[in-house]
A and B are shown apart, each in its own frame.
Chain A
Amino acid sequence: MATVGQACLILALATCAYGIGASLYGASAGRRDWVESGRRSVYALAVLATAAFAILIAAFLRSDFHFTVVATHSSTTTPTFYRAAAAWSSQEGSLLLWVWLLSLWSSLVLFLVRRRLRDVAPYATAVLLGFGAFFTALLVFSVTPFHTVASAPAEGTGLNPLLRHPSMMIHPPMLYSGYTLWAIPFAFAIGALVVRRVDADWIRATRRFALAAWFFLGVGILLGARWSYAELGWGGYWAWDPVENASLLPWLTGTAFLHSVMVQEKRGMLKVWNVSLILATGTLAILGTFLVRSGILDSIHAFGASTLGVPFVSLIGVMIAGSVALIVTRRASLRTEHRLDSLLSREAVFLGNNLVLVGLAFVVFWGTFFPLISEAVTGEKAAVGPPWFDRYTVPLALVLVLLSGIGPVIAWRRATLANARRNFKWPIVAAAVTLVALIAFGVTQNVAAMTMFAVAAFVVTVVGQELVRGVSARRAMANEGPARALVSLVSRNRRRYGGYTVHVGMAVLFVGVAASTAFQHARDVRLSPGQTAAIGGYDVTYTNATARADYRGDRLERVNLGAVLDVKRKGRHVTTLRTERGYYPSTAAFASGSIVQGIFEGEATSEVGMKAGLTHDLWTAIRPDPEYLNKVIDALAAKTKGRSVDQQFTAVGNLLGVYRQGAFPAQFRLISSPLVTWIWLGGIVVFCGGLIALWPAPDAARRRATAGYAGRVARELGRA
């Protein structure tokens, strides 16, 4: 089947090349049939990419180690769910996933707009197929997923245990869905610029795709943060690591784009901003895809230098050069229809929103690429740390949240004093009350956090006010009860109220970030069983040690050394925390015939002990010290080397017993963090808001169908 897979890729590359040619020829010669053929090439690409991807997944699922990529990223002991997902933990698999997703969305959008945007669509098709050709070419000529060996190894390398977590498995498909979906509005923007049709049509046609891109990319980013917090042993959710930043950059400019296009639709302004933002977003998405596999920046994720650097940098260069050239040569068409009447207007707030988000993106970009920048300037690579990022992103984030409260209610064109009084009175009161309450409760240590709380109160009140007014307006119009009015209000104005929901979610999320950063207590302590440490008003006692082994058939999968911790507050029991460190024995140990020797030679992961709550999270991770067991291990290993598996397992059991009774000290990281759960809850609210905004309105769908019928009748009448 590998040859079939490879053939699919070669065919796919050929199809992309053909489609580009057909679309461009059809567009320039005015030949609809060639344009149609070009569009169908995208459908064909989807078929071929699906086939190739299915073949790869099937190979992973049945652990076919003839496939090199399967042998190096999976194993027979990898659980089925993770086996499928191991496909995209590899370079080749992830690129194939990218092409597959791109082909799906491209087919969908071209199908949906098949009768519209006749002048723009062919060029958009060519751009999308261009991306397809690039990635397929990489898969055909550089890193093929279908490389096979004649004699398959008995066992594969296996998936890094750190990645065996549901969040980490969904994280890449979410991110890639986001990146590939951004390619859709990108391609249509290019097409619109090429034919100089830069009114709002291309924006409307691709809006849902842009929103979906923002949605999936956001989910991916948040899942990554959640995984980091709940699975890794450092207890943080964001480290300003280059790869985290790389996914954040297109999300920032994409958010600006989603907002800025509203101004173009309403008032024909900000056209240059809009094309610039989406072209930047598309380019940053490719940059993000590239950064993870480039090795050009030192990061927790960036891996060894690969050969794909040159092609990616070339693609990014072409995208930047092409974008700039198109915008500059089309600037006449991009002239604004109206001018800014007042700085106190919704247009101005949207412009400010653009500036803040682009500012944030610039800060993140600068900090991320600083090692390269400083090397170019001073000849020496230097890096900036999280404190530098925080210094600039915190004030910008505050302004951003504030704008999200002002924007929805300030008037278009020019805000009057009456308008301001009407709309901002209660939100300002709420913010002031919040500040007073904070001061009264003595929460004054961190000015930035306090400001964020006040601004969040402002935003939530604005949205609440909007809902109340909207419901009463609806009731006045339709004589409905309040609950029904709310439902019909939201469902008839999904974009607006979906957006408001997103704003509330973001405010909640930022409150969580502010509180958990500013008021966190973290300690690293060394405890022996029976000892207690204090953290943030809690007393944590190391009650007893735990030791257990996970077996899978006749294999020792994992050994877990852990602790049970008792948490008290003012003498009263609050909760019990359990934390472990899992050690995956190295395969070399099995080969050498002494399992017990190799237990601590392989990978290790943390099982975090956490009590999450609405107000507070208690977090702990253990780092036991296997060195205390060294003598015992040596003795047991000498006794059981080369013996039967049963005897080896008995030795393991003995070792665990020693650890349990031994009262060895262990290192603990203890964190007490307020309002962390608000981050995840806020994120859920944001994504619910996104879904509301994305949801298609039933009326429009029905109307579209009848228009189709009318068209068909006319066509058939014409043919007869």
Chain B
Amino acid sequence: MDVLAPLIVIVLLAVVVWLVSGPLRAGASATEDPDVGRREDLEAAKEAKYREIRDAELDLRTGKLSEGDWRVIDRDLRAEAMELLRRLDELG
């Protein structure tokens, strides 16, 4: 038991150091394409926008939005979604 405890501690220490220093050892060469981050953010925003468009349509169909109001909102949301798609395409 007396030998086992320090051994386990050393193993844990090694695991932690290895885990935490991984990105540093890999160095700058392994840094991801920065666009990946931006793409993920835009994808998430796009998903949210699609949700809103579908939500608005449901609001219309359940009588919470008048036809006129909905048309305005739908047009605006679709324009915003198109802008997001454009920016996504820009990233390649």
Contact = CB atoms under 8 A, between A and B. Distances in A.
Q: Do any CB atoms of chain A lie under 8 A from CB atoms of chain B in the complex?
A: yes
Interface stretch (A184-192, A505-513, A535-543, A711-719): A711-719
A329 interface: no
Interface in A698-712: 700, 703-704, 707, 711
A411 B30 CA distance: 50
Interface string B24-68: 101110111110111111011101100010110010011111100
5 contacts: A32-B31, A40-B20, A418-B66, A469-B62, A703-B43
B33 A718 contact: yes
Interface residues of B, number: 44
A423 B19 contact: no
B44 A466 contact: no
A204 B44 contact: yes
Contacts of B82: none
A172 B78 CA distance: 46
Contacts of B31: 32-33
B16 A11 contact: yes
A54 to B, nearest CB: 12
A548 interface: no
Interface in B1-16: 5-6, 8-9, 12-13, 15-16
A116 B24 contact: no
Interface in A1-38: 1, 3-4, 7-8, 11, 15, 18-19, 22, 32-34, 36-37
B55 A493 contact: yes
B23 A116 contact: no
A117 B44 CA distance: 10
Given A33-B26, A266-B52, A419 B12 contact: no
A3 B37 CA distance: 42
Given A205-B44, A715-B36, 9 more contacts: A4-B5, A4-B8, A32-B34, A33-B24, A48-B16, A423-B63, A470-B62, A714-B33, A715-B32
A700 B55 contact: no
A1 B41 contact: no
A44 B16 contact: yes
Contacts of B8: 4
A473 B62 contact: yes
A265 B63 contact: no
Nearest to A8: B12
Interface of A: 1, 3-4, 7-8, 11, 15, 18-19, 22, 32-34, 36-37, 40-41, 43-44, 47-48, 51, 115-118, 200-201, 204-205, 265-266, 409, 411-413, 416, 418-419, 422-423, 466, 469-470, 473, 476-477, 492-493, 496, 700, 703-704, 707, 711, 714-715, 718
A117 B66 CA distance: 36
Nearest to A476: B61
A714 B28 CA distance: 18
A26 to B, nearest CB: 9
Nearest to A712: B36
B44 A48 contact: no
Q: 5 tightest CB-CB pairs across the interface, nearest first?
A: A36-B23, A473-B61, A469-B62, A118-B37, A115-B40
A492 B54 CA distance: 10
A310 to B, nearest CB: 30
A11 B16 CA distance: 9
Given A204-B48, A493-B55, A422 B9 contact: no
A85 to B, nearest CB: 26
A118 B40 CA distance: 10
Given A32-B32, A47-B15, A201-B45, A1 B64 contact: no
A707 B36 CA distance: 10
A104 to B, nearest CB: 16
Contacts of A413: 69
Contacts of A7: 5, 9, 12
A669 B88 CA distance: 69
A267 to B, nearest CB: 11
Contacts of B15: 44, 47
B1 to A, nearest CB: 8
A83 B60 CA distance: 56
B20 A423 contact: no
A116 B41 contact: yes
A379 B76 CA distance: 60
Contacts of A422: 63
Nearest to A415: B64
A19 B54 CA distance: 41
B26 A3 contact: no
A342 B6 CA distance: 68
A22 to B, nearest CB: 8
Given A423-B63, A423-B64, A470-B62, A37 B22 contact: yes
B31 to A, nearest CB: 5
A48 B8 CA distance: 12
A496 B13 contact: no
A466 B8 CA distance: 59
Given A11-B16, A40-B20, A116-B37, A33 B61 contact: no
B5 A496 contact: no
A48 B11 CA distance: 12
A15 B20 CA distance: 9
Interface centre among A48, A115, A419, by most B CB within 10 Å? A115
Contacts of B34: 32, 118
Contact of B36 (A201, A477, A711): A711
Contacts of A4: 5, 8-9, 12
B64 A201 contact: no
A11 B63 contact: no
Contacts of B32: 32, 115, 715
A341 to B, nearest CB: 12
A494 to B, nearest CB: 11
A715 B32 CA distance: 7
Contacts of B62: 466, 469-470, 473
A33 B55 contact: no
Interface centre among B5, B27, B28, B54, by most A CB within 10 Å? B5
